[in-house]
């Protein structure tokens, strides 16, 4: 909506979507740097970093599946924007959703393929759908790494759009998700 209108409930996403959006954002902003740091930590704590990174990533996967379900069952707020801007926004959001599924799935499968079952927060072992498979382990790891970088680029675009709408246009776009 434009800046002259107030943000009523009909102009916002459903509460479940808003909660899931921010919870997933926080988890990704924790998980992504942990994954980058794994290569730089000492061997005696490396497994702890993997455990936390993999567990948070697996949690992101399940929260994203919940988010997709919530999104399919709720109406998005109306947006007043030029057609090209709407198209780009939908494309970026769609790609964010896609890579927020691809990244944890490929990471989980890569871990399994390298022969390490996921021990969710050290509490229990998650069933491995593929087991140790050295033939595909490095391909899955590459998909995971590339999807992480693509996700970072998409996040940067998303964040730039937030700044554009909130600071330059001064519209109420940000309030839809708060």
**Cβ partners under 8 Å of residue 26, min gap 6:** none
Total of domains in the chain: 1
Strand partners, 120: 124
pLDDT digits (tens, 9 = 90+) for 99-156: 999 999 999 999 999 999 999 999 999 999 999 999 999 999 999 999 999 999 999 9
Judge contact between 60 and 104, C-beta under 8 A: yes
Whether 124 maps to a domain, the answer reads yes
For residues 163 and 24, give the distance between their C-alpha atoms in angstroms, rounded to a whole number.
Answer: 20
Whether 74 maps to a domain, the answer reads yes
Average pLDDT for the chain: 91
Q: What is the CATH number of the domain that holds 84?
A: 1.20.950
The parent domain of residue 103 ranges over 9-176
pLDDT digits (tens, 9 = 90+) for 38-76: 989 998 999 999 999 999 999 999 999 999 999 999 988
pLDDT at 6 over 50: no
> What are the phi and psi torsion angles at 8 (to 5°)?
-90, 175
Strand partners, 153: none
pLDDT at 2 over 60: no
Whether 71 maps to a domain, the answer reads yes
pLDDT band at 10 (very low <50, low <70, confident <90, very high): low
């Amino acid at each position: 909506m434009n800046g002259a209108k107030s943000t009523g409930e009909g102009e916002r996403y459903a509460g479940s979507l808003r909660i899931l959006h921010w919870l997933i954002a926080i988890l990704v902003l924790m998980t992504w740097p942990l994954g980058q740091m794994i290569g730089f930590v000492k061997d005696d704590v490396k497994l702890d970093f993997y455990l936390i990174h993999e567990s948070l990533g697996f949690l992101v996967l399940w929260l994203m599946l919940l988010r997709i379900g919530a999104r399919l069952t709720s109406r998005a707020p109306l947006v007043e924007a030029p057609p090209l801007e709407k198209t780009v926004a939908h494309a970026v959001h769609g790609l964010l959703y896609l890579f927020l599924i691809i990244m944890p799935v490929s990471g989980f499968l890569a871990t399994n393929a390298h022969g390490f079952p996921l021990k969710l927060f050290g509490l229990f072992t998650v069933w491995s759908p593929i087991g140790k498979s050295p033939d595909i382990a490095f391909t899955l790891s590459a998909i995971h790494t590339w999807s992480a970088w693509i996700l970072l680029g998409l996040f940067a675009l998303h964040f730039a759009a937030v700044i554009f709408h909130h600071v330059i246009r001064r519209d109420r776009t940000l309030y839809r998700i708060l």
